[in-house]
Amino acid sequence: MTNETSRTWWQQEIFYQIYPASFKDSNNDGIGDLPGITAELPKLKELGITTIWLSPVYKSPMVDNGYDIADYQAIDPRFGTMADFDQLMTTAKDLGIKVVMDLVVNHTSDQHRWFQAALKDPASPYRDFYIFRQGHDGQPPNNWRSNFGAGSSWTAVPGEPNTYYHHVFSPQQPDLNWENPKLRQAIYSMINWWLAKGLAGFRVDAITFIKKDQDFASITPDGSDGLGKVKRKTENRPGLDQFLKELNAATFKPANAVTIGEASGVAYDQLGDFIGEKGYFSMIFDFHYADIDVASGSEWFKQTNWTPKMLGEAIAKSQLAIQKVGWGANFLENHDQPRSLSKYIREPQYRNAIGAKALALLYFGLRGCPFIYQGQELGMVNAVRTNIDQFNDLSAHDNYRRALAEGYSEDVALTCVNRRSRDNARTPYPWDDSQNGGFNAGHEPWLPLAKQAAGVNWQAEHDDPNSVWTFYQTLCRLRNASPLRADLIEGDFAPLDAHNDNVIAYARGQHVQIFVNLSSKPAVVDLPAGHVWLNNYPDVGTSIQPYQAILIEVK
């Protein structure tokens, strides 16, 4: 890259997110593990990714599948040992793959020794590591509704009448009190301990929630339960900047680490503070177009009627806002999102290799770092579950209850949960067509595999030059090493008008132009002359076929 600076090494990376419980189960106990990941790293290298992001592998009771941490400096035995982790680091290094871990510091598990000490003794110094308040007349301190649990964001402390602790997420995820400098120092030394192990950086969980409005005042209700969304008083609130500046200066910045903030609630005109030259993070995830199908990421029963045109506009708006000040983290899927094929391709008959490649090109060419979520590169689709009891994730159950409470029928509630459940992306990875998809040697997996079309597995796709996996490999190659590399990494993003509402088109730099028909209707589009590097159909005709996607190098 020209103009390479130490600040920007990470702009060249291609990230691959691993959901450890579901990647590869090496000891056949039903749960994916670190040795499993280590063994499969060469296959990720072959795909062409350069950095892996591990969802949490820390010690945890797994109420929220690891996003409830009981010990920041220990590996959960389900996933292996610290020696297994160190081995993963060594193998990754040998392969030239960098490692990023999840950093979950808005809350811990209620099993963390800090919280246990705080509960045991109100005079403990750990009491002030968390947020304890008195209730009023047998009611919680205020009417905030937690993100999880479909109820109050306060839980009564057992054995202490009228005392409550706060949690933005589930009751088993008590919030840390960032107002306390001792807590902040403890977090910073933990982060630096991990960085010293050679991590390239962190994906930073729920980080815009660490500052709570200190008035802890009730708000106007926004549901029939008389409660209001907790995020209105806890997400990206005034004063957050001081915490984030200090966090960055004490940890990430001196290590020249890459950080990807899960920073919901940040308006486009604030991006400069978050990802600008002096921003708190290298990149943040923008959820605007990931959540285009729902009115809010946490209320799945409020569906929208989005169109390809709206999606194209949302992407362009996001890209242009980010381009003004910094760098983007582009993704279609993660462990909280449904499978993109099921979400963005409205006609089931195109939820196949054609549709998957169209989506791949649509986002992979954008300005910023591409993130691939495990299984996305195979073109996996959502699972179909026929009863709410078949869902594992706590938020599936919350959403179901909330939908019923808001007057939706059981059928509609189930349809919405099926469409949006986080379990969709969390099913075991299909390596081949053997029992349990080669995820393990036959033990029942912690979450059943999702049914996929024949041939949607790593082995079949690896051996097929026309597979989705091979298409992703080509995308990685074009970005890592090809004549298009400079434009694909550094080139400015510019929306193109294809004069068709179903076609999303954009340019990168001087030479790259991308056209994607996001509909089942052929579209007549005036394509530029040039070399076609990528195409999910055998040829380019006078009109663009349903879900056809083309990358053209214009001279």
Whole-number minimum distance, CB 336 to ligand NOJ, in Å? 5
What interhelical angle do 394-405 and 410-420 show, nearest 10? 150
Q: Mark whether 377 is an active-site residue.
A: no
Nearer to Ca ion (CB atom), residue 78 or residue 184: 78
x/- site string to ligand NOJ, residues 256 to 295, per CB under 6 A?
------x---------------------------------
Instruction: Locate 473 and state its tokens.
Output: 């490999």
Q: Choose, by CB under 6 A, the member of 205, 286, 487, 553 that binds ligand NOJ.
A: 205
Q: Whole-angstrom Cα distance, residue 256 to residue 457?
A: 37
**Partner interacting with residue 33 (select from Ca ion, ligand NOJ, none; CB below 5-8 Å by kind):** Ca ion
**Partner interacting with residue 27 (select from ligand NOJ, Ca ion, none; CB below 5-8 Å by kind):** Ca ion
Q: Which residue is nearest to ligand NOJ (CB)?
A: 67
Q: Choose, by CB under 6 A, the member of 25, 175, 299, 336 that binds ligand NOJ.
A: 336
Q: Mark whether 121 is an active-site residue.
A: no
Nearer to ligand NOJ (CB atom), residue 147 or residue 436: 147
Tokens 């708000």 found at? 219
Interaction between residue 487 and ligand NOJ (CB under 6 A): no
Separation of CA 25 from chain center: 22
Nearer to Ca ion (CB atom), residue 29 or residue 490: 29
Q: Which DSSP category does 248 fall into?
A: I
The upper half-sphere exposure of residue 161, i.e. CA atoms within 13 Å in the direction of its Cβ, equals: 2
Separation of CA 528 from chain center: 35
Tokens 């815009």 found at? 208
Q: Which residues partner with 373 through β-bridges?
A: 17
Nearer to Ca ion (CB atom), residue 27 or residue 224: 27
Whole-number minimum distance, CB 383 to ligand NOJ, in Å? 17
Whole-number minimum distance, CB 25 to Ca ion, in Å? 4
Q: Which residue is nearest to Ca ion (CB)?
A: 33
The backbone torsions φ and ψ at residue 552, rounded to the nearest 5 degrees and listed phi first, read -115, 135
Whole-number minimum distance, CB 128 to Ca ion, in Å? 38
x/- site string to ligand NOJ, residues 350 to 369, per CB under 6 A?
--------------------
Whole-number minimum distance, CB 230 to ligand NOJ, in Å? 12
**Partner interacting with residue 525 (select from ligand NOJ, Ca ion, none; CB below 5-8 Å by kind):** none
Q: Whole-angstrom Cα distance, residue 424 to residue 241?
A: 34
**Pick from 244, 234, 320, 236: which is nearest to 282 by CA?**
244
Q: 10 to 39, contacts with ligand NOJ by CB under 6 A?
A: none
Whole-number minimum distance, CB 36 to Ca ion, in Å? 7
**Pick from 490, 498, 494: which is nearest to 507 by CA?**
494
x/- site string to ligand NOJ, residues 77 to 106, per CB under 6 A?
---------------------------x--
**Pick from 191, 215, 213: which is nearest to 201 by CA?**
191
Q: Which helix (H) or strand (E) holds 512?
A: strand 512-517
> What's the maximum distance between 2 C-alpha atoms anywhere in the chain?
76
Nearer to ligand NOJ (CB atom), residue 84 or residue 336: 336
Q: 56 to 75, contacts with ligand NOJ by CB under 6 A?
A: 64, 67
Secondary structure class of 475 (helix, strand, coil) = helix
Q: Which residues partner with 285 through β-bridges?
A: 329
Nearer to ligand NOJ (CB atom), residue 231 or residue 335: 335
Which amino acid is present at 78? R
Q: Whole-angstrom Cα distance, residue 436 to residue 50?
A: 28
Secondary structure class of 505 (helix, strand, coil) = strand
Nearer to ligand NOJ (CB atom), residue 208 or residue 418: 208
The backbone torsions φ and ψ at residue 374, rounded to the nearest 5 degrees and listed phi first, read -45, 130
Whole-number minimum distance, CB 439 to Ca ion, in Å? 10
Tokens 């003004």 found at? 324
Catalytic residue among 262, 293, 299, 393: 262
Secondary structure class of 301 (helix, strand, coil) = strand
Q: 104 to 163, contacts with ligand NOJ by CB under 6 A?
A: 104
Q: Whole-angstrom Cα distance, residue 51 to residue 45?
A: 9
Whole-number minimum distance, CB 56 to Ca ion, in Å? 16
Whole-number minimum distance, CB 33 to Ca ion, in Å? 4
Residues that bind Ca ion (CB under 5 A): 25, 27, 29, 31, 33
Q: Whole-angstrom Cα distance, residue 344 to residue 308?
A: 9
Q: Whole-angstrom Cα distance, residue 150 to residue 227?
A: 10
Interaction between residue 206 and ligand NOJ (CB under 6 A): yes
- State the number of binding residues for ligand NOJ (CB under 6 A): 9
Nearer to ligand NOJ (CB atom), residue 70 or residue 478: 70
Q: How many CB atoms lie within 10 A of CB 548?
A: 25
**Partner interacting with residue 205 (select from ligand NOJ, Ca ion, none; CB below 5-8 Å by kind):** ligand NOJ
Tokens 């009417």 found at? 143
Nearer to ligand NOJ (CB atom), residue 152 or residue 474: 152
Catalytic residue among 110, 205, 286, 393: 205
The upper half-sphere exposure of residue 154, i.e. CA atoms within 13 Å in the direction of its Cβ, equals: 23
Q: Which residues partner with 543 through β-bridges?
A: 524
**Partner interacting with residue 262 (select from ligand NOJ, Ca ion, none; CB below 5-8 Å by kind):** ligand NOJ
Which residues are known to be catalytic? Answer: 205, 262
Kindly list the residues in this chain that would bind ligand NOJ in the complex (CB under 6 A): 64, 67, 104, 169, 205-206, 262, 335-336
